[in-house]
């Protein structure tokens, strides 16, 4: 299927990317126990 992103690329990207760091760039995250919480970014 044209235009699809290969699954191997997605898996590699997920393995190399820290989602907390990525989101923290735009929305301040606060750690609460094992989780992170953020306020509304608006």
The predicted-structure confidence for 1-42, as pLDDT tens digits, reads as follows 568 999 999 999 999 999 999 999 999 999 999 999 998 877
pLDDT at 2: 66
pLDDT at 22: 92
Predicted TM-score (pTM) of the model is 0.58
Instruction: Tell me the β-bridge partners of 36.
Output: 31
Instruction: Report CA dihedral (16, 19, 22, 24) to the nearest 10 degrees.
Output: -150
pLDDT at 31: 94
**3 state SS of 37:** strand
pLDDT at 34: 95
Q: Rounded to an integer, what distance in angstroms lies between the CA atom of residue 31 and that of residue 14?
A: 21
pLDDT at 40: 81
Q: Rounded to an integer, what distance in angstroms lies between the CA atom of residue 42 and that of residue 7?
A: 33
- Tell me the domain boundaries of the chain: 7-38
């Amino acid at each position: 299927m044209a235009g699809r992103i290969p699954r191997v690329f997605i898996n590699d990207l997920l393995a190399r990317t820290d989602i907390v760091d990525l989101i923290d760039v735009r929305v301040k995250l606060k750690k609460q126990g094992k989780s992170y919480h953020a306020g509304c970014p608006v």
